[in-house]
Structure 1
């Protein structure tokens, strides 16, 4: 039996962890973390074997043969699919409506040829994968005019004794992060850091937490608004930053907005037990 371990990259999520794939006679059998790159692979990454050979995986183009939404498709050749797409793109461009073409993919693929194609064609680069957090990243780009430093996880490995780690709506232990992050969080706890998990569900993260806060679903906004009230009203904010970087009058408006958003008032919305 010809068996070997091949170093590659997992693409089950945006973390793109380094992995080793065991291949036997051309068939993928096992996935592990690469010990030369922190040696971790999450359960989702290891499930890549199932994804590779899933009976539901598309292996050739399909074209719709019924009405939109009926779910009726039939196989077609790659040549037929490419010609159909090209024809529709040319028709759109010739009508002067190339700007109506939108794309859905990861925003961090900035140097990818598909971005260059859209720029040359005249399409509108607008969104990202809705089933990942990339849509949130693009929203930040559109709002703030820059690329947020999001795809690099927080450096939990550097949290010191007495430090606080807050996970709000984040499932590090559930592998929605770099596969080595759970290890870094637990190592920080062993050093004396405090782990706070804010989540309505008693998740694997909550099971490891020093303090689990089971807020009401969608109560995040009220919770952090109450925290912001406490910080602002007690003068715990960065005063030099506010004085030097906030437009005159805006912070006063913000303070007025927070006036009745007390932690007690917000607690009723959040529904603490």
Structure 2
């Protein structure tokens, strides 16, 4: 039994005429009649009652019609879903990130993408930068968003958006200007992102060294958002990505850091072999991220 047998059977059963069904199917009537006889022989029972005047369904034919139409409907659904998955309009996109990324444009970017691709389910995976790389390589995630991404020949790194650095100061700190140079912080105690698993933290450290001082680190944390709470508790000052400052805290203030080398630019990291959903998301990122960044800066 093949799908064409079911299609031929349904055509005859719905029209109760071999002549009309053959015309609608675009086939000659004798081959159509033979296909129905072959189907009945394969099943082992008659599906139609035939006379010189009329064609009708047997009880077995009536039941078979219901099930044949369901099978053909499921086959069509399966074909349409496979086509949708193949073109990237249906499926799942797994995104790796640190929670602080959502303080910037990424949250809105994900929302806008899902509004355009309603058949795609985006799963967010919060994890430290080192675990993001492992998840990406193992296929657990499709795209990761990182500051200071590693150089890896198996992965593609693309600038998602540019982001500056702010310093978090305790309320009442001696620095009052809206922006400061990095070297002005040389005498401060720092709270830092954890150096062992953050290339971004190492980037900040190296920029401090290039500015003429090695930061005195009192505490380290996994998330940039946690640094603000540590500053508020009196552990020192912190250097954080620009948009993390949107998570305001009553006991701290923020100042822009002026530096030619220090930045918190965000990169999208993905495989060259990434599927169509990932590439649709990347296209949305390229078209929307700049405007979303400007909206955040304008408040």
Q: Which has the higher contact order (CA 8 A, sep 6+)?
A: 2
> For this structure pair, what is the TM-score category when the shorter chain's length is used for normalisation?
under 0.3
Q: Which has the higher helix share?
A: 2
Larger Rg: 2
Name the TM-score, length of structure 1 as normaliser: 0.23
